[in-house]
Amino acid sequence: MHYQNERTHGCRVSDSWTYRGLKTVVLENELVRVIVLADKGADIYSFVHKPSDTEFMWRTPWGVRNPALSVPPTGDPGSVWLDFYEGGWQTAVPHGGYPDTVAGAEMGLHGDVNTIPWDAVVIADSTELVSVRFSAKSVRTPFAIEKTLTLRSGSSMLQLDETLTNEGEEPQDAVWLEHIAIGPPFLSGDTRLYVPDCTILSHPAGIDPNSKLAPGHEGPWPMAPLAAGGKTDFSHIPPPEDRSLDMAYMTGMAEGWYALHNPATGVGWAVAYPADVFKYLWFWRNFAGGFGYPWYGRCYNLGLEPCTSFHNGGLRQAQENGTALHVQAGESVSVTIQAGAFSGAGEVRRVSPDGVVEF
């Protein structure tokens, strides 16, 4: 937008930026700043709480890489995604999970709309409210995806209105995953996790030599058994010294929400989402235990990722266990997600569907 009103107060938005050659959109108000890489999946690369100078989004050590400037050194469908994974928040659809081939289409890790450019249009721009609509079409399936990001004056919550549409003339299945990765310094051994009453599911098998959870567990929140004996409390985030790498899942929630709170700083991160669509909350526990490509022991983060399906074996796995999202020809599925910062003291009791955090 060449003639955009460049305000210095209230809500602000600009789609006139590039970062490492990628079109980038910035939304901000008095409390938060959100940076979106439009040319790379419309990924939310940065989400900063201004009063406390807290960045919630985890950054990979290799950072943002522009796919237009390099040729992947391998055709491996997992490595191609990881080579360009910068951290932050990806919308992974129609295939969340490990690579596989479905309906004759080879699907890479978490592919494929978060590896392609999205169109971006500013649709609201005032001191009270800014809104940007991002849209893309899957390369290997007939799905179209649209998400509108809205920020209101005085609010530290970002609203995402997302719609997935099957433009094909036959039914399609999908795994829809909101791949949100949180990192330090907000994330630490002081951080606490709050979710509604739910069932914990550990991955059917260990995903790494440093996996600590007992595989195939199903039981009530918050305790989960360890493979070596004893239990771990999921509400307490381990420090980097834990050196573990695991996958787990939460399901059976009456409401879809979670909150991470660091009592040492009083700052928190909360997400509210529709539990009737995202029936599982994936819990990627990368507590400095990943060695070898691409982690090499240097990554301390977690992922708390609303998902339609179980587990991260990919779309074929979800089809086989009956948890894939089934979308008829011409049908659309829409969701609203609230995500952002909060501050306060005490235990979180609930995050309402409109993003209000209750202590």
pLDDT tens-digit readout, 288-301: 999 999 999 999 99
Position 97 in a domain: yes
Per-residue confidence band for 1, with pLDDT thresholds at 50, 70 and 90: low
In a domain, 1, yes or no: no
- Let me know if residue 265 belongs to a domain: yes
State the pTM of this model. Answer: 0.97
pLDDT tens for 123-157 read 999 999 999 999 999 999 999 999 999 999 999 99
Q: Is the pLDDT of residue 192 over 70?
A: yes
Q: 337 lies in which domain range?
A: 12-358
CATH number at 236 reads 2.70.98.10
The answer to whether residue 3 is domain-embedded is no
Mean pLDDT, to the nearest integer, of 218-247? 98
User: Quick check: 77 pLDDT over 80?
Assistant: yes
> How many percent of the chain have pLDDT more than 70?
100
Mean pLDDT of the chain: 96
Q: Is 14's pLDDT higher than 90? A: yes
Residue 46 has a pLDDT of: 98
For 110-119, what is the mean pLDDT? 95
Asked if residues 113 and 136 have their Cβ atoms less than 8 Å apart, the reply is: yes
Predicted confidence at residue 72, as pLDDT, reads 85
Q: What is the mean pLDDT of residues 169-188?
A: 98
Number of domains in the chain: 1
Give the pLDDT confidence score for residue 4 in this predicted structure: 80
235 is a domain residue: yes
Quick one: average pLDDT of 232-254?
98
> Is residue 87 very low, low, confident or very high in pLDDT (cuts 50, 70, 90)?
very high
The answer to whether residues 287 and 244 touch, using CB atoms and an 8 Å cutoff, is yes
pLDDT at 270: 98
Judge whether 311 lies within some domain.
yes
- As a three-state string, the secondary structure of 43-95 is EEEEEEECCCCEECECECCCCCCCHHHCCCCCCCCCHHHHHCCCECEEEECEC
Place of tokens 């549409």: 165
> Is 131 part of any domain?
yes
DSSP string for residues in 323-356: -SEEE-TT-EEEEEEEEEEEE-SS---EE-TT--
304, pLDDT greater than 90: yes
Q: Is the pLDDT of residue 305 over 80?
A: yes
Whether residue 39 has pLDDT greater than 70: yes
DSSP letter string over 89-116? EEEE-B--SS-EEETTEEE-TT-BGGGS
Evaluated on CA atoms 254, 273, 161, 128, the torsion sign reads: positive
Residue 213 included in any domain: yes
